[in-house]
Amino acid sequence: MVKKAVLPVAGFGSRMLPASKSIPKEMLPIVDRPAIEYVVKEAVRAGIKEIVLVTHSAKTAIEDYFDTQFELEQQLEEKGKAQLLAEVRDILPDGVSVISVRQNQALGLGHAVACAAPVVGDEPFAVLLPDVLVDCGGEAEDLGTMVANFHASGAAQIMVEAVPAHLVDRYGIVALEGNAPGRGECAPMVGIVEKPAADRAPSRLSVVGRYVLPANIMGILARTPPGAGGEIQLTDAIATLMQQQTVDAYSMRGRTFDCGNKAGYLQAVFHFATRHPELADVAKAMMVAEISENPADE
Ligand code: G1P
């Protein structure tokens, strides 16, 4: 059963500077909670019980956020602020724990995932890249479907979505035998390559940042040499895994928001503001008012 999720959070977030200079980019708020909370909650809704942060000494604010702040809770209790207290306590739902391991060298995503090997042990696990937020708009959630698929078939699951041809060199790109699977469906992969040039990409289906992987990927990662960009790539380890067992590309239903860059972050803030139970109406009215005062240039 998939009960563990690895979240690589050691990166510096240079695309979000200066905001990320002294706080981790994962702690930047999307409306009223840090981006990382959305990712952890997504994992928890998919049945994950252990969150493994692969982190760095400069990013302890993330671990602190998921720890109990006893003095704060006591103060909220004494002041009768029950609603706020419940929200603070719900940051990490009951029965879920957070464990952190350090990535002491920046050798790539594959290396980051391999750092979690002692905690993951001999179990299958999910990987969620924290830059990417996923919103399924209340429909069945993609990560939950991927976990259910893995339990049913045993095939590793790699979430994909189509990107424009000029963007393929920013992502892992998968190759399939036939057509792309319909939304919410999966199909066996026949290839995967990290950040190919547009004219060499096997498709336009990009790896989105959600994976469900068997335990043996850890051994493969330990033997994977540096690839694209001189980094140890998770993509390359998945290519090796494909030679041993079925790996499915899962075509996502939801929408993604890349909070690792400024435009994607802003879009996430706008989007999740319009979904917020208390702020949605006021947020939409503000957006309309702002546009009418500052119309976009023709
Ligand atoms: C990583 C992965 C890549 C994937 C991307 C999704 O790249 O290596 O395969 O498509 O995340 O966001 P990065 O964005 O860290 O360069």
Instruction: Please give the share of the chain, as a percent, with pLDDT higher than 90.
Output: 93
**Residue 231 belongs to domain spanning:** 4-293
pLDDT at 297 over 80: no
Residue of 270, 265, 149, 271 lying closest to 210 (CA atoms): 149
Residue 126's CB: how many other CB atoms inside 10 A?
A: 26
Q: Is 256 in the pocket of ligand 1 (CB under 6 A)?
A: no
Strands 33-34 and 29-30: antiparallel
The reply to whether ligand 1 has any atom less than 6 angstroms from the CB of 109 is yes
Domains contained in the chain, number? 1
Residue 140 pLDDT greater than 80, yes or no? yes
231-259 per-residue burial string, b: 16 or more CB within 10 A, e: under 16: bbbbbbbbbebbeeeebbbbbbbbebbbb
Q: Residue 231 C-alpha to ligand 1 middle, in angstroms?
A: 12
**pLDDT by residue (tens digit) across 141-172?**
999 999 999 999 999 999 999 999 999 999 99
Is 64 a domain residue?
yes
The residue whose CA is least distant from atom 1 of ligand 1 is 171
251 in any annotated domain: yes
CATH number at residue 243: 3.90.550.10
CA 235 to ligand 1: nearest atom: 9
Is 197 part of a structural domain of the chain?
A: yes
Q: What is d(CA 198, CA 166) in angstroms, rounded to the nearest whole number?
A: 6
Residue 121 lies in a domain: yes
3-class SS at 128? strand
Q: Is residue 162 part of a domain?
A: yes
Q: What is the pLDDT of residue 296?
A: 81
Report percent pLDDT > 70 for the chain: 100
Instruction: Write the residue with the smallest CA distance to atom 7 of ligand 1.
Output: 171
Mean pLDDT of the chain: 95
Three-state DSSP class for residue 151: helix
**pLDDT of 298 higher than 70:** no
Instruction: State whether residue 254 is helix, strand or coil.
Output: coil
- Is 8 within a domain? yes
In a domain, 244, yes or no: yes
Against a cut of 0.85, is the pTM above it? yes
pLDDT of residue 137: 85
Does residue 298 lie in a domain region?
Answer: no
Q: Where are the beta strands (DSSP E) in the chain?
A: 4-8, 29-30, 33-34, 50-55, 97-102, 125-128, 132-135, 156-162, 172-176, 186-194, 205-213, 247-251, 255-258
Cβ of 172 closer than 6 Å to ligand 1, yes or no, is: yes
Q: Which helix (DSSP H) or strand (DSSP E) does residue 153 occupy?
A: helix 142-153
112: tokens are 């980051």
The answer on pLDDT for 214 being more than 80 is yes
